[in-house]
Amino acid sequence: MISLKTDYKASDVGYDEQRIDTLNRFFQDLIDRNKILSANYCMARDGKVFANNAIGKLSFREEDTREISPDTIQPIASITKLFTAVAIWQLVEDGKLRVNQKVGEIIDEFNESPFNEITIAHLLSHTSGLQADEDCFPNKYFVSPWAFIEHERGKNWIASALRTGMRKKPGEEWAYCSFGYVILGEVITRISGEFANDYIMEHIVKPCGMKDTYFFKDFDKVVKRTNIPNEKRENEIYDILAGVKPSEEEEIWEKIPGTGGAMLSTAYDLCRFGIMLQQGGSIDGNRVIGRKAIEKMSTLYTAPHIKDYCWGAGGVYREYGLGPDMRCNDASLYSKGTFFHEGAGGCCIIIDPKEKLVAAWFIPFINDVWCPEPLYNAAAVMWSGLI
């Protein structure tokens, strides 16, 4: 295990030091049982970081025996969406848009039936009715928005993607839709006048002091400390690090915002982002977003009649805010009102406003096989240390 020195000890913030040892043993057991490659986590209470540790290997390659470090840069996948949501709420605060505003007022392609009733809030909460991500429902004939974009290169990428049509009417169902967050990125671009990726870097990442956080397109800045979930992606990353440039045919993807899941970061950087949200929108004297916007973002938006059938959920009520996940069930030790986001691969960030506890962690699944223990069981171990 590698630990980086923190400014505070667990005892300084009302946290049981022995539970960190328990957490380390818990992660090591999952590594030994071949469920995860490694574990890399950072925790803070009341803005004070008290744990920044890493356990396990850096790479899935057997010949690579390097240990993972707490400052290893890794894909955060869908945690990117939480940054996108904050960017949208910043624009709301500046009076540049409303979350109940119809997307068609900003993007012409949505000003046509059946898309013209979709609002910003629907996109933020995954209730837009747009087609869900490819793996959400069993359908071997499903064609994703990305396939249409790929097929119609050089054309209007939004119009191409909308050829997938609608799954439901807006507000009827919760269905996880990364494409909806890419559309939110296009909203950010058009409203702010800055490409969404650049807007997020300038208005969220930099003010939070996140020095190891990037979008995929900025891989030239990432020289080392990169961990990726499988060999295919690993080879792609090494190509980019070696200076391999995308072909002209691939340049269309450079125009599409990476706001659905195309960021990389470290556990420490993610923890700083979480601290900012836990502290009401400011960190180190830098205001990123206002307290009231965070409150609104992290208030339940979905209602019990909005069901979740994704990944075999069976029609349960999905508690979701206008950006973050809001689920709190029998297995949750964190407080009601806690908000969070997971990322495929996997990784997670949780912000508990009541206990002022923030945790961010990476737990790369072996062969991308999802399992609940590194996420939900791990969260219970983390919250068990509160005194």
d(CA 368, CA 232): 12
Q: What is the dihedral of CA 359, 174, 331, 40, to 10 degrees?
A: -30
Domains observed in the chain: 1-387 (3.40.710.10)
In this structure, is the dihedral angle defined by the CA atoms of residues 220, 345, 306 and 309, taken in order, positive or negative?
positive
What amino acid occupies position 65? T
Cα–Cα dist 14/233, whole Å: 40
- According to DSSP, residue 152 is labeled T
Joined together, the tokens standing for residue 107 give 């993007």
User: pLDDT in tens for each of the 387 residues of the chain?
Assistant: 999 999 999 999 999 999 999 999 999 999 999 999 999 999 999 999 999 999 999 988 888 889 999 999 999 999 999 999 999 999 999 999 999 999 999 999 999 999 999 999 999 999 999 999 999 999 989 999 999 998 887 689 999 999 999 999 999 999 999 999 999 999 999 999 999 999 999 999 999 999 999 998 776 555 545 555 544 444 444 343 334 444 545 567 788 999 999 999 999 999 999 999 999 999 999 999 999 999 999 999 999 999 999 999 999 999 999 999 999 999 999 999 999 999 998 999 999 999 999 999 999 999 889 999 999 999 999 999 999
Report whether 269 contacts 211 (CB < 8 A).
yes
Tokens of 92: 């709301």
Length of the chain: 387
Structure tokens at 230: 């499988």
Q: Which alpha helices (DSSP H) does 94-177 contain, by range? A: 120-124, 145-151, 157-161
Helix (H, G, I), strand (E, B) or coil at 255: helix
CB 2 within 8 A of CB 67: yes
